[in-house]
Amino acid sequence: MIDRDQVLHVAKLARLRLSDEEVERMSGELSTILDHIETIGELDLTDVPPTSHVIEVENVLRPDEPRPSLPREKALEQAPATADDGFLVPSPAAHA
Amino acid sequence: MSELLDLTGAQAAEKIGTGEVDPAELFDFYRERAAAEELNAFLWLPEDGDRPEFKTDAPLAGVPLAIKDLFCTEGVPSTSGSRILEGYRPPYTATAVRNLQDAGAAMLGKTNMDEFAMGSSNENSGYGPVLNPWNHDYVPGGSSGGSAAAVAAGLAPWAIGTDTGGSIRQPAALCGIVGLKPTYGSVSRYGMIAFASSLDQCGPLTRDVTDAALLYRHMLGHDPCDSTSLQHPEEISLPTAERLDGKRFGVPPELTGDGVEPGVKQVFDQTLELIEELGGELVDITLPHSTYGISAYYVIAPAEASANLARYDGVRFGPRTEAGGLTAQYEQTRHDGFGAEVKRRIMLGTYALSSGYYDAYYGNAQRVRTKIAEDFTNAFEQVDLIVTPTSPTVAFKLGEKTDDPLAMYLNDALTVPMPLAGIPAISIPGGLSDDLPVGIQLAGPAFSENRIFEAAYALERAIGWDPPEAPWRR
Amino acid sequence: MAAMTQQFGEHEYEPVIGLEIHVQLATKTKMFCGCALSFGEAPNTHTCPICLGHPGTLPVVNAEAVHFALMVAEALGCEVAPRSIFHRKNYFYPDLPKGYQISQYDIPIARNGRLGDVRIHRAHLEEDAAKLVHAGSSGRIHGAEASVVDFNRGGTPLIEIVTEPDIRSPQQAADWARLLRATLKATGVSDVNMEEGSLRVDGNISIRPVGQAEFGTKTELKNMNSFRFLERGLDAEIARQLEIVKGGGQVEQETLHFDPTTGALSSLRSKEEAHDYRYFPEPDLVPVAPTEEMLQRAKDALPELPTARAERFERDHSLPPDQARLLAFRGELGDYFEEALRTGGDGGDGAVEPTTLANWVTSELVARLGDAEPQDSKVEPAALAQLVGMVAGRQISRDAGKEVLDELAQSGGDPVAIVEERGLAMQGADELSGIVDRALEANPKAIEQFKAGKGKAIGAIVGFVMRETKGRADGGEVNRLIREKIGS
């Protein structure tokens, strides 16, 4: 069960604006899906290691050799807004 | 003209090699058919007369190939079926595509798909749904619906797509063609617009098993740009088997019983009889945790996707919606650019990873995944291949399941266990039910593609799939 | 290192400090792509689809960054994880192109180490964010404030080092940070330059009554870009926390910025914006499981580190511990000292005493360095050694020695030549004795007064000698001779 407040909180985390109608609908849909997902709870999973990697490979490392970067025009080409040779964005409200 | 249409990819390559067929003529032929189609299968086609280079000496000899719009193709629009990438032209080309181009494939066009590969019906595209060539009121399946429809309708001799939870196999089944999801890691993911990183794989959608093997042979390979890519230990051969003597086929009740509609079950049972006639042995096996596949998949895939789609923020590429401050711009841009299903999965994934919920959802889903993989390992000690229907139903009507996301997700019940375990599986046409195609799935252990191709080829021969009303004939 | 406590009512409060340090690695390329690292180059000229976060791109780990991390683990006495993995740390910010940072979470590459008297909790690898710069008048968005993102820095390899909260005073924090810097500098994995940003230090501070085991609420102090500012910032924050507790209030968890010019602390983030990073294992990367070969290569790549060098100075040169550390923890000073010691070994009248040379290096030389580095000083190590030898060998007075050093520091040169030019050579013992005799003959009254108990009377006699020697005599020695001859 996921209620309206939780939906709004998650939407904020995901930087998604949702209309009131979307929030309403999302709440119901997600609840239904989560109910199904929660059937996992029927299983006894103690001592079962989680799979974080499907393939058994380790130490895939790249030699520290430079290769050419993109020319700046190419890097900026797709940007919706640029200024001062960079990507223009509204200023964040606070320092990082 | 219809002679060109009758040629499979392999046949066309051969005839170009001998000079019988002109690659430019073949390309124009398909381009024209693709441009005239009403299935909405293509999102981008080259201009009339704008042809790529044809490498007639290379194995794929300049035969045209349709490419799912999820693959980055340098300078050519690549949207992953989403409005948030409208107009995006990547500065590079996906490795799998480059491999195929190096082998002679000629890019015919980019095909329509469910947005960011999220869907089982191709109704989630930001550019309109794709229609099933068998019946335009029905869905072609998804997310590689455009590629599947293109091949089934004879708009391209073959195509590539991607499979995360069934997105190659299920549309292949619903459109009556062949589709392979290879071993995870055997094909590079570099340049594949990511949906779920630990599940996504590139694969062929073709008219027959031979074409699938040929394309797979030339797309695979270790790629230094993809840390999760592996070198396939075997050379991929074109199959020749005519029988299945000595081959053991596991039949799991969890994936072949309840939930499979009667028409599909009937075709499946007929296929099992055929397997025995060809000398194959049917073995009862159990995959006890596969029934939790959907639950695990619909936590893991959305979780990874929620992170993979965080880069779509209107800063470096794609459209953006100005809305005052920075946060508002992020929120509005993403609201405007993503469709409903994508939003749903981002929400689901973000929730599953969020503080307090991680272990119950994501942590446990990854544990279920371990059990599902174990089930397969155990099963493959008793059998060589596992056989199931590919989809619980045949194609359904457009709009039929769009109001019920869970019902839509359950379409994947028979295809999600394999990607969760990283193992390969193929779907081949098995017959018709209510005049719509039914697909049969064969799965094998990691790197068993040769084994799968051989068995599929023998079965394909015996099934003799050649329905008179097939859409590529129209 | 004296801890710092303050008395409030019946309690004495002590500060509890932990440090979080980000070190930019001096590899040739970025952490996950082959772009060359940028040093103030024109914006967005060191980028590629991967570090710009384009769709479909994938990271690949830089082998040298892993090697550097193993070196740091070894230098800090850490346990190396047999198998560590990368995690995604998810949040939205314009300097983070993928919307997540690839970092390490619960299985970092190194854990449980120690440097000096501070334990290391963990060290891990991650990628740096890009740079956000205020746009100025060239770019506003509908009249509103705008920023410009430069992705050159984005993706630079970082090692994050987190200490245990073992530090008990701001001074200890600054001193330890200097030791860490000297140690990392010796390894060569980073430029560790705080002004340039290749070394960034954040502090976590709380206070608690002395004797209490539980920690108080901690605050975070970010981005102090010099050791002095670190110390002052910590001082200010401790004072602020003490004020709150004194007033009966509760310290709130927050992130603060210290302005060194005003001495003011300001809040960077309010409580509600505490991030939920939703960490999960990075599916695009595979684990790092350092092999024996990798570990040995890292060990072999380490030069002598400051703590070991200090111990060696104590042992081999009999330097007192504080002085040994002073020389060892500032690498260039230690190098200078050792070079001077080496060249001074055969400079004329016997080898120079290491302790004497060390004194001159740590006091007289350092005083004349200002902001320059020892290796940039015009005083060659050999020259200093020779000078020190001449003073020790009584060829010139100590004061004369300082005068020569001034000249060397200004314009370099050869101490012997300078002594000769300026006629600074001291008299030999016999000659000096003769001059003292003459002084005594010339000042009988002074002798009488001195013998009568007026100590200051000796001054006239000393003055005579100094005039005769044109100030070159060693004052102390003159005094001694006079008293000896007078017989007191």
pLDDT for residue C274: 65
Helices (H), C301-361: 306-317, 321-329, 331-343, 354-359
Q: B359 and B236 in one domain?
A: no
Whether B369 sits inside 8 A of A2 (CB atoms) is no
Give catalytic status of residue B167 as yes or no.
Answer: yes
Using CA atoms, how far residue B235 sits from B180, B212, B239, B244, B377, in Å, is 17, 14, 12, 21, 23
Which residues does B446 contact at the CB level (< 8 Å), separation at least 6?
Answer: B183, B184, B422, B423, B424
Which CATH number goes with the domain that contains B15? Answer: 3.90.1300.10
Strands B106-111 and B42-44: antiparallel
Nearest CA of chain A to the CA of C36: how many Å? 5
CA angle centred on B60, ends B54 and B63, rounded to 5°: 55
Q: Which amino acid is at C358?
A: A
Integer-rounded Cα radius of gyration of chain C: 30
Q: Is the peptide bond before B78 cis (omega within 30 degrees of 0)?
A: no
Whether C145 sits inside 8 A of A85 (CB atoms) is no
Kindly tell me if the per-residue pLDDT of C346 is higher than 60: no
Q: For C423-478, how does the pLDDT look when each residue is reduced to its tens digit (9 = 90+)?
A: 888 777 788 888 888 888 888 888 888 888 888 888 888 898 888 887 778 788 88
DSSP 8-state class, residue C210: T
Using CA atoms, how far residue B288 sits from A47, B376, B379, C16, in Å, is 18, 10, 11, 54
Q: Which among B78, B82, B120, B143 is annotated as catalytic? A: B143
| Residue A18 domain boundaries | 1-43
Interface of C with A in 270-289 (CB under 8 A): 273, 276, 278, 281, 283, 285-289
Mean of the pLDDT values across residues A22-48? 93
Q: Is residue A71 part of a domain?
A: no
Using CA atoms, how far residue C331 sits from C197, C305, C338, C362, C374, in Å, is 20, 9, 11, 13, 10
Distance CA A39, CA C125 (A): 37
Which CATH number goes with the domain that contains A1? Answer: 1.10.20.60
Q: Using the Cα atoms of residue B96, residue B97, residue B101 and residue B102 in order, give the sign of their dihedral.
A: negative
Give the residues across from B301 on adjacent strands. Answer: none
Which residues does B176 contact at the CB level (< 8 Å), separation at least 6?
Answer: B134, B152, B429, B432, B437, B439, B465, B467, B470
Residue B197 in contact with partner chain C when CB distance is under 8 A: yes
Question: Which residue is associated with the tokens 């140690």?
Answer: C183
Q: Which among B68, B110, B181, B401 is annotated as catalytic? A: B68
Whether C28 sits inside 8 A of A85 (CB atoms) is no
Lowest mean pLDDT among B418-422, C209-213, C281-285: C209-213
Among B348, B372, B396, the domain boundary falls at B372
Residues of chain A found within 8 Å of residue C148, distances taken between Cβ atoms:
83-89
Residue B332 in contact with partner chain C when CB distance is under 8 A: no
Q: Is residue A75 part of a domain?
A: no
Q: Which amino acid is at B268?
A: F
Distance CA C327, CA C338 (A): 10
Query: Which candidate in B308, B367, B410 is best for mutational testing of the A interface (most A CBs within 10 A)?
Result: B367
pLDDT for residue C430: 80
pLDDT for residue B436: 97
Q: Is residue A17 part of a domain?
A: yes
Determine the residue of chain A that is closest to C149 in CA distance: A87
In our burial notation (b when 16+ CB lie closer than 10 A, e otherwise), range B11-41 reads bbbebbbeeebbbeebbebbbebbeebebbb
Query: Which candidate in B164, B202, B313 is best for mutational testing of the C interface (most C CBs within 10 A)?
Result: B313
Please report the ipTM that was assigned to this predicted complex: 0.96
Beta-strand ranges (E) seen in C164-293 are 199-209, 219-224, 255-259, 264-269, 280-281
Q: Is residue A80 part of a domain?
A: no
The 3-state DSSP class for residue B129 equals coil
Instruction: Say what the alpha-carbon torsion angle B317, B321, B325, B327 is, to the nearest 10 degrees.
Output: -70
Among B372, B400, B435, the domain boundary falls at B372
Distance CA B436, CA B41 (A): 19
Sheet-wide strand order for B178-181: B42-44, B106-111, B64-68, B159-163, B201-206, B178-181, B425-433, B436-443, B385-389, B248-251, B281-284
Whether C280 sits inside 8 A of B362 (CB atoms) is yes
Q: B170 and B65 in one domain?
A: yes
Mean of the pLDDT values across residues B214-233? 97
Helix axes B449-463, B262-277, angle to 10 degrees: 100
Which residues does B126 contact at the CB level (< 8 Å), separation at least 6?
Answer: B79, B81, B82, B83, B84, B86, B115, B339
Distance CA B29, CA B26 (A): 5
First-last CA distance in chain A: 35
Residue A40 in contact with partner chain B when CB distance is under 8 A: yes
Q: For B15-39, how does the pLDDT look when each residue is reduced to its tens digit (9 = 90+)?
A: 999 999 999 999 999 999 999 999 9
First-last CA distance in chain C: 45
Asked if C456 and C440 touch (Cβ cutoff 8 Å), the reply is: no
Q: B450 and B359 in one domain?
A: no
Q: Is B189 left (phi over 0), alpha (psi -120 to 50) or beta?
A: alpha
Q: What is the mean pLDDT of chain C?
A: 90
Kindly tell me if the per-residue pLDDT of B108 is higher than 70: yes
Max intra-chain CA distance, chain B: 70
Q: Is residue B304 part of a domain?
A: yes
DSSP 8-state class, residue C145: -
Q: B79 and B8 in one domain?
A: yes
Nearest CA of chain B to the CA of A9: how many Å? 9
Kindly tell me if the per-residue pLDDT of C225 is higher than 90: no
Q: Is residue A5 part of a domain?
A: yes
pLDDT for residue B22: 97
Considering only the beta carbons, identify the residue of A59, A71, A88 that sits closest to C135.
A88
Integer-rounded Cα radius of gyration of chain B: 21
Q: How far is CA C261 from the centre of its chain?
A: 22
Could you tell me which residue, B219 or C432, shows the higher pLDDT? B219
Q: B297 and B162 in one domain?
A: no
Confidence of residue C142 (pLDDT cuts 50, 70, 90): low
Residues of chain A found within 8 Å of residue C287, distances taken between Cβ atoms:
53, 58-59
Give catalytic status of residue B68 as yes or no.
Answer: yes
Lowest mean pLDDT among A37-51, B238-252, B338-352, C128-142: C128-142
Interface of A with C in 10-69 (CB under 8 A): 13, 15, 52-53, 55, 57-67, 69
Q: For C49-88, how does the pLDDT look when each residue is reduced to its tens digit (9 = 90+)?
A: 999 999 999 999 999 999 999 999 999 999 999 999 999 9
Q: Which helix or strand (DSSP H or E) is residue C8 part of? A: strand C6-8
Could you tell me which residue, C346 or B121, shows the higher pLDDT? B121
Asked if B438 and B267 touch (Cβ cutoff 8 Å), the reply is: yes
Distance CA A9, CA B351 (A): 9
The 3-state DSSP class for residue C341 equals helix
Determine the residue of chain A that is closest to B323 in CA distance: A90
Residues of chain C found within 8 Å of residue A73, distances taken between Cβ atoms:
none
Distance CA A36, CA C78 (A): 45
pLDDT for residue A84: 87
Q: B213 and B122 in one domain?
A: yes
Neighbours of B257 (CB within 10 A): 10
Q: B302 and B241 in one domain?
A: no
Asked if C20 and C204 touch (Cβ cutoff 8 Å), the reply is: yes
Considering only the beta carbons, identify the residue of A15, A36, A51 that sits closest to B330.
A15
Distance CA C73, CA C290 (A): 12
Whether B317 sits inside 8 A of A90 (CB atoms) is no
Q: Is residue B260 part of a domain?
A: no
In degrees rounded to 5, what are phi and psi of residue C105?
-120, -95
pLDDT for residue A54: 82
Distance CA C4, CA C169 (A): 5
Q: Is residue B254 part of a domain?
A: no
Asked if C14 and C210 touch (Cβ cutoff 8 Å), the reply is: yes
Kindly tell me if the per-residue pLDDT of B330 is higher than 90: yes
Give catalytic status of residue B227 as yes or no.
Answer: no
Share of chain C above pLDDT 70, in %: 94
Q: What is the mean pLDDT of chain B?
A: 96
List chains touching C (3+ CB pairs under 8 A): A, B
Asked if B164 and B132 touch (Cβ cutoff 8 Å), the reply is: no
Which residues does C361 contact at the CB level (< 8 Å), separation at least 6?
Answer: C327, C333, C336, C337, C340, C384
Q: B333 and B214 in one domain?
A: no
Q: Is residue A87 part of a domain?
A: no
pLDDT for residue B113: 98
pLDDT for residue C269: 66
Whether B88 sits inside 8 A of A78 (CB atoms) is yes
Q: For B272-319, how does the pLDDT look when each residue is reduced to its tens digit (9 = 90+)?
A: 999 999 999 999 999 999 999 999 999 999 999 999 999 999 999 999
Token pair for residue B79? 């949207």
Lowest mean pLDDT among B64-68, B284-288, C273-277, C376-380: C273-277
Q: B327 and B225 in one domain?
A: no
| Residue B115 domain boundaries | 2-245+444-473
Q: B303 and B163 in one domain?
A: no
B266-272 long-range contacts, Cβ below 8 Å, gap at least 24? B266/B433, B267/B389, B267/B430, B267/B431, B267/B432, B267/B433, B267/B438, B267/B440, B268/B388, B268/B389, B268/B430, B268/B438, B268/B440, B270/B430, B270/B431, B271/B387, B271/B430, B271/B431, B271/B440, B271/B459, B271/B463, B272/B387
Residues of chain B found within 8 Å of residue C276, distances taken between Cβ atoms:
354-355
List chains touching B (3+ CB pairs under 8 A): A, C
In our burial notation (b when 16+ CB lie closer than 10 A, e otherwise), range C298-332 reads beeebeebbbebbebbbeebebeeebbbbbbbbbb
Q: What DSSP line would sit under A5-41, residue for residue?
A: HHHHHHHHHTT----HHHHHHHHHHHHHHHHHHGGGG
Q: Is residue A12 part of a domain?
A: yes
Reported pTM: 0.90
Kindly tell me if the per-residue pLDDT of A49 is higher than 80: yes
Q: For C368-379, how does the pLDDT look when each residue is reduced to its tens digit (9 = 90+)?
A: 887 777 888 899
Mean of the pLDDT values across residues C346-350? 49
Count of structural domains within chain A: 1
Whether C62 sits inside 8 A of A62 (CB atoms) is yes
Mean of the pLDDT values across residues C411-415? 89
Count of structural domains within chain B: 2
Q: Is residue A14 part of a domain?
A: yes
Q: Which among B78, B82, B144, B167 is annotated as catalytic? A: B167
Among B323, B355, B372, the domain boundary falls at B372
Distance CA B345, CA B353 (A): 12
Q: Is residue B392 part of a domain?
A: no
Q: B294 and B151 in one domain?
A: no
Question: Which residue is associated with the tokens 């530090």?
Answer: C167
